[in-house]
């Protein structure tokens, strides 16, 4: 059983940066694709970024392209979301998730559907003030 714990959220002014971390325990992330999702008040959870198990490919929501970078460090069993040029509309609870991808198909892309993820973190609040 993999447990995910997010950290790095907080309050930041528009234009600022934050780096979210997602630390895994109970297993390593080398065979897992990772995703970051967010949920703003009164809205559903949406994908922000995702990365394939081997880091070969990534996916970003249009709203964050060019501003956010997803990465994973298998040696540290940690995934990251570097967020720059933050906007008030980025305010949300951010969740990381892990999808077991097997670690064999090196061309397998990132998982985009939240229902396909196996494990979720508890979320971390990001608030961007104007």
In tens, the pLDDT along 23-42 reads 999 989 999 999 999 999 99
Phi, psi of 114 (to 5 degrees): -60, -30
> Is 90 exceeded by the pLDDT of residue 1?
no
Helix, strand, or coil (residue 88): helix
| DSSP state for residue 54 in the 8-state scheme | T
Radius of gyration of the CA atoms of the chain, in A: 14
For residue 106, pLDDT over 90 is answered with no
How far apart, in whole angstroms, are the C-alpha atoms of residue 126 and residue 10?
5
The phi and psi torsions of 69 (rounded to 5 degrees) equal -135, 125
pLDDT at residue 68 in the model: 98
List, in sequence order, every residue forming a beta bridge with 69; answer none if it has no partner.
Answer: 82
Handedness of CA 19, 23, 28, 34 (dihedral sign): negative
**pLDDT tens figures, 57-102:** 999 999 999 999 999 999 999 999 999 999 999 999 999 999 999 8
């Amino acid at each position: 059983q993999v447990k995910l714990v997010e950290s790095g959220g907080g309050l930041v002014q528009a234009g600022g940066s934050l780096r979210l971390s997602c630390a895994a325990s109970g297993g390593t992330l080398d065979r897992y694709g990772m995703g970051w999702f967010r949920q703003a008040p009164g809205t559903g959870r949406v994908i922000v970024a995702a990365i394939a198990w081997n880091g070969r490919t990534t996916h970003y929501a249009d709203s964050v392209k060019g501003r956010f970078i997803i990465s994973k460090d298998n040696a540290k069993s940690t995934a990251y979301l570097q967020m720059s040029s933050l906007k008030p509309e980025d305010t949300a609870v951010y969740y990381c998730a892990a999808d077991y991808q097997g670690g064999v198909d090196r061309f397998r892309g990132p998982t985009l559907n939240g229902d396909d993820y196996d494990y979720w973190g508890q979320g971390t609040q990001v608030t961007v003030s104007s």
